Structure 1
Amino acid sequence: MEEEEKMSSAFSTAATVAKPVSFTTSLDLANPVGFLKKVFNFITEESDFPAKMNDSDVSKQIQQMVSFIRQEVEERANEIFVSTEEEFNIEKLQLVEAEKNKIMLEYEKQVEVRKKIEYSMQLNASKIKVLQAQDDVVNEMKESASKELLNVSRDQCVYKNLLRDVIVQSLVRLKEPAILLRCSKDDVHLVVSVLDSAKWEYASKVNVDPPKIFIDDVHLPLHLLTTTLMVFFCFGGIVLASQDGNIVCENTLDALLDVTFNKKLIEIRKWLFGQVGA
């Protein structure tokens, strides 16, 4: 009899214990209020533990649920924070690396451009030095040739024939019936000695009457000699002009040298330096 009473009492006690709660809805961080509503709806509608439990037990159960929710929220928030921080760090490193590569490429490009500019400047400077040295050689050669003109005017026989030739050449260019001739004071007697011969040779070439040639009272300046250098004004030769002075033909030795030198300059450079137009 006593055993039956104990079993009945145990069964009665077990009947008052709340059934296990079956709540499977997961926490939605995007809508925590909705989740809490579902929890309380489950407590009031689907579970029968409010009828089996007193207020203290209900309060404890709710407190446990709140603690669970808080823990779940904190864990999810921590996961999101860690994941976000990792993604941020990765993206930051990628951006930093990309910017470093960009800066490095730009720097390398600038270095390459600077090298090309410096190389071009050095190359141009070298070319200028070479050209300057070549010009110096050419000018020295011309100066040496100018000094040799003195020997031409000193040889009376050679110089007289040269004067005759340049007079004929000048007359052919001018083709004027009356000519004014200018020469140096020292060359007047040589010019007079070849003038008639030059006039008739010209007349024969172009089939005209011999022109009238007047020797100018104004003479060409002679070269000057100093102790340190030679300053040349005119090495010899003649200048012919039409009577009105509108047409002038300069056939001084200086002018002939300049014309010949400029005409043969490419050949001279090729002969000196082995290339044309250096």
Structure 2
Amino acid sequence: MSQRHALSDDQVEGELRKMTTFIRQEALEKAREIQIKADEEFAIEKSKLVRQETASIDVLYEKKFKQASMSQQITRSTLANRTRLRVLSARQGLLDELFQHARDRISSASDDTKQYQAVVKGLVLEGLYDLNEDKVAIQAREKDYGVVKQAIEEAKMEFKDTVGRDIMVEIDEKNPLPEGLAGGVVIVGGGGKIHINNTFEERLRLLEIDALPTVRETLFGKNVNRKFFD
């Protein structure tokens, strides 16, 4: 058997230093690997968190933007409606004033007897043509009876010239029109069942209904009229 030579203290110390250096080197390399892997995982996690937070911020921003847009639309709509109502109110006021002025004017329409008689004749004649009967009655204000009688005679003559036959027309003195009316007549036919209201107030009311769209267009314009009144 061969004999092993015992190592000296210096040799043992040298071997220990080598082993220690090796172990330290291994530990440092392992630590570097762990650090690199930790840095990579940290970078990945950091990127993931950044993406998540970015997405969360984008969602929050989109939500806030939609809320702001909706709020802005509601505000605009509210202001537009308020403006529209004010415009409508102002325009309706102007139209009311216009037709009120017309009502004020017709209150003195019967002052000119000659002109008023011609108007009444036209109103009576219109009723005679519409009814086309042999006998009709005329309702009028009591103070207009004289003018109305003259107008009736002229209307009867024109009716005969146009239609070719006589017609009986008389004033219904039992049912006079209210003195508060501005003027005009009511033509009664059909045995008292048919009334054609040709008073000034009624004609103006019908005119107001028929002419209102045209008046609006004339005053405010065609496009504006459609936008605000249709």
Indicate the TM-score class for this superposition, using the shorter chain for normalisation: 0.7 to 0.9
Instruction: Report the counterpart of residue 37 of structure 1 in structure 2.
Output: none
Q: Deviations over 1:191-221 (max 9, x none)?
A: 2232222122123223333144451512222
**Aligned-residue CA RMSD in angstroms?**
3.3
> Which of 195, 203, 215 does residue 256 from structure 1 map onto?
203
Contact 1:164-1:194 at 8 Å conserved across structures: yes
Aligned-partner Cα distance in 2 for 1:249–1:265: 22
CA distance change for structure 1 residues 245 and 85 in 2, over 3 Å: closer, same or farther? farther
Residue pairs, 1:152-191, within 5 angstroms: 152-191=109-148
Instruction: Report the counterpart of residue 265 of structure 1 in structure 2.
Output: 212
Instruction: Report the counterpart of residue 145 of structure 1 in structure 2.
Output: 102
Residue pairs, 1:58-137, within 5 angstroms: 83-137=40-94
Deviation at 1:248, TM superposition (A): 2.4
SS of equivalent to 1:154: coil
CA distance change for structure 1 residues 100 and 244 in 2, over 3 Å: closer, same or farther? farther
CA distance change for structure 1 residues 244 and 79 in 2, over 3 Å: closer, same or farther? farther
Kindly provide the amino acid, as one letter, of the partner of residue 102 in structure 2.
Answer: A
CA distance change for structure 1 residues 221 and 80 in 2, over 3 Å: closer, same or farther? farther
Q: Deviations over 1:155-213 (max 9, x none)?
A: 22211221111000111112122323221222223222322221221232233331444
CA distance change for structure 1 residues 222 and 92 in 2, over 3 Å: closer, same or farther? farther
Aligned-partner Cα distance in 2 for 1:243–1:257: 25
Contact 1:180-1:243 at 8 Å conserved across structures: no
Instruction: Report the counterpart of residue 217 of structure 1 in structure 2.
Output: 174
Deviation at 1:76, TM superposition (A): 7.7
Q: Which runs of 5+ in 2 are unaligned?
A: 7-25, 226-230
> Which of 194, 200, 209 does residue 247 from structure 1 map onto?
194
Aligned-partner Cα distance in 2 for 1:101–1:185: 85
SS of equivalent to 2:108: helix
- Paired residues, what number? 207
Aligned-partner Cα distance in 2 for 1:75–1:244: 121
CA distance change for structure 1 residues 127 and 211 in 2, over 3 Å: closer, same or farther? same
Aligned-partner Cα distance in 2 for 1:120–1:268: 28
CA distance change for structure 1 residues 215 and 100 in 2, over 3 Å: closer, same or farther? same
Kindly provide the amino acid, as one letter, of the partner of residue 142 in structure 2.
Answer: K
Aligned-partner Cα distance in 1 for 2:165–2:35: 120
Deviation at 1:140, TM superposition (A): 0.8
Between structures 1 and 2, the one with greater helix share = 2
Q: Which has the higher contact order (CA 8 A, sep 6+)?
A: 2
What fraction of aligned residue pairs are identical, expressed as a percent? 20
Aligned-partner Cα distance in 2 for 1:98–1:267: 59
CA distance change for structure 1 residues 245 and 94 in 2, over 3 Å: closer, same or farther? farther
Aligned-partner Cα distance in 2 for 1:78–1:272: 85
Q: Which runs of 5+ in 1 are unaligned?
A: 1-7, 15-67, 224-233
Aligned-partner Cα distance in 2 for 1:178–1:76: 123
- Tell me which structure has the larger Cα radius of gyration: 1
Aligned-partner Cα distance in 1 for 2:135–2:56: 87
| TM-score w.r.t. length of structure 1 | 0.62
Kindly provide the amino acid, as one letter, of the partner of residue 255 in structure 1.
Answer: E
CA distance change for structure 1 residues 208 and 125 in 2, over 3 Å: closer, same or farther? farther
